[in-house]
Amino acid sequence: MDSGGGTLLVISAHAADFVWRAGGAIALYGSRGCRARVLCLSYGERGESEKLWKEPGISLDQVKKVRRKEAEQAAGALGAEIRFFDAGDYPLVRTAELIDDLVQEFRQVQPTVVLTHSFSDPYNGDHGETNRLALDARVYAQAAGYPSDAKKLGAPPVFLFEPHQTEMCEFKPQVLLDITPVFDLKRKAMECMAAQEHLWDYYTSVAKRRGTQAVRNSGKSGVKYAEAYQRVYPQVTDVLS
C-alpha cells in the first residue's frame, strides 16, 4: 500500500457490504495514492433493503436505484471506483457470464490485493457464494489457457473481511488493519447507506473493539479503530514479522 502503487480489488455481494466491512482499507488505499476498485455483484435489493420495502408502493427497480445511488456516494467518499453487476440477490446465482465477467476484471485490473467475504455465513448464502465466485475467478484468471485479451493474473493475496456475526461464520481475525487515520471517511461512507442506518453505530463499535485489540497485539497506543481480516493463502516471506 505504498503511495502511487498497487491496486485493491474488493468483491462485494451487496451494495453496502464493502462499506461496513472494508471501508477503512479502501480509504487507506485511496489516501496513499493507490487505486481501489469495488465490484458490487448485487444491490441487495431483496434481502438487505427492508427499510425501503416499508415504503408504500415501492417497486424493485426503485429499490435498486436507491441502493445504487447510496453505494456510488459511499464509494466516492472512500475514493474508490465501483462497478455494479446487477446479478440479483436472495439468491445470488452463479452463471457462466458472471464468472467470465469476474475473470476479465481480474485480468484487466491486475490487482495486488483482493478483499472479499468469509467462506461461510449461515445467515446469508449470498456472502458465501460471493467468496466462492471471487476465489474461483482468481484461479481461472491465472490460467494461461483462459480466453482473454488481457495477460494472465499473478498471485495476489486474498483477505476475507469480517462478517456481521463473526463467531457464527467461523471467521478468524488474523490481520488487524489500523484505519484510525481514515475512520472519518469510513463513517461518512457508512452514513451514505441510509437504507441500513441501523448499522452505522454497530460497525463503529466493531471498529473500536478491533482497535482495542490492535493495541493489545502491537503495543501501538495510537490505534483507535481497526478492521479485521483473515488470509486465504500463505504469506511468502524471508522475514518473520
Cα dihedral 192→197→203→205 (10° resolution): 120
Helix or strand run (H / E) with residue 84:
strand 81-84
The radius of gyration of the chain from alpha carbons, rounded to an integer in Å, stands at: 17
Reported as a single tens digit per residue, the pLDDT across 173-206 is 999 999 999 999 999 999 999 999 999 999 999 9
Q: What confidence tier does 241 reach under pLDDT thresholds 50, 70, 90?
A: confident
In this model, does residue 151 exceed pLDDT 90? yes
Pairing of strands 35-40, 7-12: parallel
Q: What confidence tier does 4 reach under pLDDT thresholds 50, 70, 90?
A: low
* Domain boundaries along the sequence of the chain: 7-231
In this predicted structure, what is the pLDDT of residue 5?
76
In this model, does residue 3 exceed pLDDT 80? no
In this model, does residue 149 exceed pLDDT 80? yes
Instruction: Output 217 or 241, whichever has higher pLDDT.
Output: 217
What is the arithmetic mean of pLDDT over 74-102? 98
Q: Which grid cell sits at 193? A: 447507506
What is the arithmetic mean of pLDDT over 1-16? 85
In this model, does residue 217 exceed pLDDT 70? yes
Whose CA is closest to 114, among 178, 18, 3? Answer: 18
Q: Which grid cell sits at 241? A: 514479522
For the four alpha carbons of 167, 51, 20 and 96, in that order, the dihedral sign comes to positive
CATH superfamily of 7-231: LmbE-like (3.40.50.10320)
143/222 Cα distance (integer angstroms): 43
Residue indicated by cell numbers 490492535 = 214
Reported as a single tens digit per residue, the pLDDT across 99-132 is 999 999 999 999 999 999 999 999 999 999 999 9
